[in-house]
Amino acid sequence: MKHDIKESIQERWEHSAKGYSDGIQQDFDTKVVETWQNLILHHIVLTDKPLEILDVGTGPGYFATILSMAGHNVTAIDCAKNMLEEAKINADMHHVYPKFYQMDSHLLSFQPESFDMIVSRNVTWTLYDPIHAFKQWHHVLKPGGKLVIFDANWHLHQFEPSLYKKVMQGCKENEARPSECAYQGNNPKVLDYYKDMPLARIQRPKWDEETLPQLGFEIIQIQPCLNAVVYNIQDQMKYEHIPLFQIVAQKV
């Protein structure tokens, strides 16, 4: 069963790479880049020495690129080869060169205590075994290293009728869709793989706040809604009932 899920995840993102890459281009605007850099690095004491950062599920490489632009040493992984190809193109366009590897976010092949920080955006909801994945991430973080997660309850409305009504009504009022699907493959069943993802139907970040301390992390900060900070007006309307949250935790 897990093998089938992993295949669906990989196919979903292999055939979504170009669409997601196109979708992040507006986020390379200087002000947007600075906003994301500040959100990610706010809880780090910066020195003259660059940070060693792991970007898990880099997708088209946005975090890998902007953190490299900030002068840090970034290693970025993704399960999808096509995503990594788009990520390299985006990094090259901005004259930075993170290290990119095709890798399962649950099965990291790095030495223990390799990184000062792990970052991820819109990734953790896709974890087929989140407890195991977070243990892996903890293992490769240095003592005191930071885990910075950005995510949302992207599919929770599919499991909660009252929330579904709010999401659909908001989209109708704003002539928007709850999400833009970049999938360009020919297997519609792949789009339903979220139904097998444990975190897709769980209220977050409450789950993370309760679980991460059990796995060796100390919660530093949780911001429950960043929509007004990082989204343009159109996306704020689109995701009114799907708030983007941030979790900052530290390895203890």
Can you give the residue range of the structural domain that contains 29?
2-251
Residues 220-251: pLDDT tens digits? 999 999 999 999 998 898 899 999 999 999 99
Contact residues for 185 (Cβ-Cβ < 8 A; gap 6+): 11, 12, 14, 15
Contact residues for 20 (Cβ-Cβ < 8 A; gap 6+): 59, 60, 83, 86, 182
Q: Is the pLDDT of residue 182 over 60?
A: no
> Which secondary structure element, helix H or strand E, spans residue 127, and what is its range?
none
Question: What whole-number distance in Å separates Cα of residue 155 and Cα of residue 153?
Answer: 6
Cβ count near 30 (within 10 Å): 7
H helices of the chain, where?
2-14, 17-24, 30-41, 62-69, 81-93, 130-140, 161-173, 206-211, 227-230, 233-238
Q: Is the pLDDT of residue 103 over 90?
A: yes
Which residue matches tokens 């992207």? 154
Q: Which among 127, 155, 125 has a CA at the least distance from the CA of 239?
A: 155
- Provide the pLDDT for residue 13: 79
Listed ranges 7-11, 25-29, 186-190, 218-222; the one with the highest mean pLDDT: 218-222
> By percentage, how much of the chain surpasses pLDDT 70?
90
Instruction: Work out the average pLDDT over 13-19.
Output: 82
Residues 41-91: pLDDT tens digits? 999 988 899 999 999 999 999 999 999 999 999 999 999 999 999 999 999
Q: Output the six-digit token pair for 172.
A: 């109708």
- Provide the pLDDT for residue 17: 86
Q: Output the six-digit token pair for 215.
A: 């796995």
Listed ranges 160-169, 182-191, 201-210; the one with the highest mean pLDDT: 201-210
Q: Is the pLDDT of residue 126 over 70?
A: yes
Name the 3-class secondary structure at 251. Answer: strand
| Domain tally, the chain | 1
Q: Please tell me which residue, 158 or 198, carries the higher pLDDT value.
A: 198
Q: Please tell me which residue, 24 or 186, carries the higher pLDDT value.
A: 24
Q: Is the pLDDT of residue 1 over 60?
A: no
- Provide the pLDDT for residue 184: 59
- Provide the pLDDT for residue 3: 56
- Provide the pLDDT for residue 178: 46
Yes or no: say if 74 and 40 are a contact pair by the CB < 8 Å rule: no
Average pLDDT of every residue of the chain: 91
CATH number at residue 77: 3.40.50.150
Question: What whole-number distance in Å separates Cα of residue 144 and Cα of residue 80?
Answer: 30
Q: Is the pLDDT of residue 177 over 70?
A: no
